[in-house]
A = this chain, B = another copy of it.
Amino acid sequence: MTLALDPRDIRILQILSSEGRLSKSELARRVNLSPSPCWERIKRLEKAGLIKAYRAEVDLARLSAHVVIFVVVELESHRAESFRVFEEAVTKYPEIIECWAIGGGVDYLMQVVTGDINSYQRMIDELLESSVGLKRYFTYIVTKKVKSEPPALDLLLKPQID
């Protein structure tokens, strides 16, 4: 199922991705629509799964001391079963907030958030001892977040349009 999206839909998605709690009437104003058609577009986007969720972005820095760590992981074996086992383990650790399978000689990149380095090391040790197929890992500790913003949807779609 393919959904026809016009520039207004893209703009709605773009606005909601930085102001997710904007009222539907204000959103309608911003895209030059009256509330009803705008409401129908939003519902359409939600039902089609283009809007996966709405989330509050919590400022962890103000909430508590913590560390953010990226871990590049290489597995011992590259059989399908090994990937499955590792990925299942990953889902079980709440400290691992993101994980991507990647190419380039290594297998996974994970983003980990814990209270301190010790709890990170404890988690890694546990992973190593739990025969989950972890062969090597490399730790990058985040010292500063330089940038974070949602993708520019119009820019991403331009190549398709012309």
Q: Which residues of A contact B (CB under 8 A)?
A: 3, 5, 13, 16-21, 48-60, 62-66, 68, 70, 72, 87, 90-91, 94-104, 106, 108-109, 113-116, 119, 138-153, 155-160
Q: Who on chain B is nearest to A93 by CB? A: B147
Is the pair B48, A159 in contact by a Cβ cutoff of 8 Å?
Answer: no
Output the least CB separation between A9 and chain B (Å): 10
9 A-B pairs within 8 Å (CB atoms) are namely A5-B63, A53-B56, A53-B57, A58-B151, A94-B155, A97-B148, A99-B145, A100-B146, A101-B145
A contacts with B: majority SS: mixed
- When distances are taken between beta carbons in the complex, the residues of chain B under 8 Å from A19 are 53-55
- Decide: A140 and B62 in contact? CB cutoff 8 A: no
Q: How far is the CB of A5 from chain B (nearest CB, A)?
A: 8
Known: A20-B54, A21-B54, A52-B57. A101 touches B62 (CB 8 A): no
